[in-house]
Structure 1
Amino acid sequence: MPNFPIIDAHVHLYDPARIDYPWLASAPAIAGAFLPGDFDRARGEVEVDGIVFMEVDAAPGREEDEAHFVAELAAEDPRITGIVASAPVELGAGVAEHLGRLREVGLVRGVRRLIQDHADPDYCLSGNFLEGVREVGRAGMSFDICIRHWQFAQAVELVRRCPDVAFVLDHIAKPPIVEGTMEPWASTMRAMAELPNVVVKISGVVTEADHAEWRPEDVRPFIDHTVECFGFERCLFGSDWPVVNLAANYEAWVALLDDAFAGVSEEDLRRFYRDNTARTYGLTAA
């Protein structure tokens, strides 16, 4: 594991007793409350001194409540230095009032609105969605892209059409690891990396493999290709905890990355595990 404290760029914290998350009904293994104390038990010997909270697809209308809930957690746990909240960007310019309220929650650094569950791969290219994402950029926030691999080409076009927005590609675009195929994912990753306004989060990748029987050699080619395309200057570490628990545990995910990056310079490891996340999300306390 790294010999310095890391910043985790992708942590979910939630309590279904406080905020309703309908999708948890289909994921009973992670359907309970997952709070900072649970995170500490999960991380084991991995030293974490910074956490970016990632929205958890709260029930419609509860997005701002979720951001306030996490701000309450941050008041007790100063490691939570950034919040990526959900906002209805599909409203187009109408999302501006939502963003204004979110900005009042001092830790909100970015927005994510899930694309992955929309059957139409062109969903993120609708006029309203594009305008809503541009509003996120105008509000001084980044936009996290959460897609499945079959939506990847459209995500590249989204980034192209919003050149003034800073994007973060989550989970290396959820490649088809379980299928053992790299194309067209690999070529599309190369195309995405050519765009200067996007960085990539190497997070939760094992959940795209066979949850019960994955091996490091199944996952490594996808991680290696991502780093080859983006370089350590534009890659961020994220655990995707507790979703990662569906296929591994926190320490196992970090151990996989340690093996993948054996021989990498201390400078590049610090970029990956700390510095890039602090820069991307403007974590002044990191």
Structure 2
Amino acid sequence: MKIDSHHHFWQYNKGEFPWIDESMLSLRRDFFPKELLSLLKSKNFDGSIVVQARQTLEETKWLLDLAEQNEFIKGVVGWVDLCSSDIDQQLQTFSVSPYFKGVRHVLHDEENDRFMLRNDFKRGIHALQKYDLTYDLLVFPKHLPYAIELVKELPEQRFVLDHIGKPFIKDQVLSPWKENIKRLAEHKNVFVKLSGMVTEASWNNWEQNDFELYLATILEEFGSDRCMIGSDWPVCTVSASYEKTIDLVLDYMKLHAPKGIEDIAGKTCTNFYKIV
């Protein structure tokens, strides 16, 4: 089964999507399953994982409803208030759905870089284990040392690093991202999404070789069996089409690691999110 491990849906309104600024005018509209389905078919994907874009319980419920209505949606990574005293009740409510696979919090927007190491947040992460849920790490390179501390403290929790940690691809900066990726990879409970790279490069002006050092680092440290391809649609479209976003990873794999294509194109994602 081929899976796109990371994309979004939303009903746009300016108040709830302040990060969509003037440079991203094309994203100021609704994005629904029907549009994505045709794109998935164009790359022979069998399904996908939809990930939260707003930090509301209402959106999580909406995404789960969409999964019920669209067979190609194999899982939902939603949002819950991990710092809340009633976190267990929130998880119990959503876990009734077989599509509720994991949780994400927009850590890189928190004022406190160490937010993920707060005791109440860590208690929330720990609660995920009771319901066999994953956690998506959305961070900037500066947050990686704290992410390393977090995953070390919770070795039984399955984590996945979104967008390879958002390195500075446009400026071809590798350090200290590379060194921290190596440290993060030492923890076998951590996986990586090969996603979100085109928006860290020079928009609509990147070349395939701009990504090679970053992909080489991730594949060397994590191996294909801990990596999964993701489009980050529709956000990717500010820099590249859906097809080009997917092809940049597949083309790299075909040339440098052809034996790992089956892993990154679906097997890793299926295993990580426990898709039946």
* Both structures adopt the same fold (TM-score exceeding 0.5): yes
| Offset from partner CA, 1:155-199 (integer Å, 9 cap, x none) | 111111111211111110001112221000001000010001111
Check if 1:31 corresponds to 2:31: no
Residue type of the alignment partner of 1:23: P
1:109–1:43 Cα change, 3 Å: closer
Distance 1:12 1:21 in 2: 14
Aligned residue for 1:224? 216
Could you say what secondary structure the match of 2:267 adopts?
A: helix
| 1:49 aligns with one of 43, 46, 50 | 46
Aligned residue for 1:82? 75
Could you say what secondary structure the match of 1:177 adopts?
A: coil
Distance 1:148 1:211 in 2: 18
Distance 1:43 1:24 in 2: 26
Check if 1:201 corresponds to 2:193: yes
1:123–1:168 Cα change, 3 Å: same
Distance 1:266 1:229 in 2: 17
Check if 1:6 corresponds to 2:6: no
Could you say what secondary structure the match of 2:178 adopts?
A: helix
Distance 1:38 1:141 in 2: 28
Distance 1:273 1:187 in 2: 26
Which runs of structure 2 are paired with 1:135-174 in the superposition (5 Å)?
135-174=127-166
Distance 2:76 2:121 in 1: 21
Contact 1:9 1:277 in 2 (8 A): yes
Identity %: 26
Aligned residue for 1:21? 16
Distance 1:29 1:212 in 2: 14
Aligned residue for 2:247? 255
How far off is 1:137 after superposition?
1.9
How far off is 1:121 after superposition?
1.6
1:226–1:133 Cα change, 3 Å: same
Check if 1:72 corresponds to 2:69: no
Contact 1:224 1:260 in 2 (8 A): no
Could you say what secondary structure the match of 2:80 adopts?
A: coil
Please, which moves more after superposition, 5-14 or 79-88?
5-14
Distance 1:115 1:45 in 2: 33
Distance 2:168 2:20 in 1: 24
Distance 1:257 1:207 in 2: 14
Which runs of structure 2 are paired with 1:227-238 in the superposition (5 Å)?
227-238=219-230
Distance 1:24 1:34 in 2: 16
Distance 1:69 1:7 in 2: 21
Structure 1, unmatched stretches of 5+, are none
Structure 2, unmatched stretches of 5+, are none
Q: Number of paired residues?
A: 274
Normalised TM-score (structure 2): 0.92
| Offset from partner CA, 1:27-47 (integer Å, 9 cap, x none) | 432121111121134446211
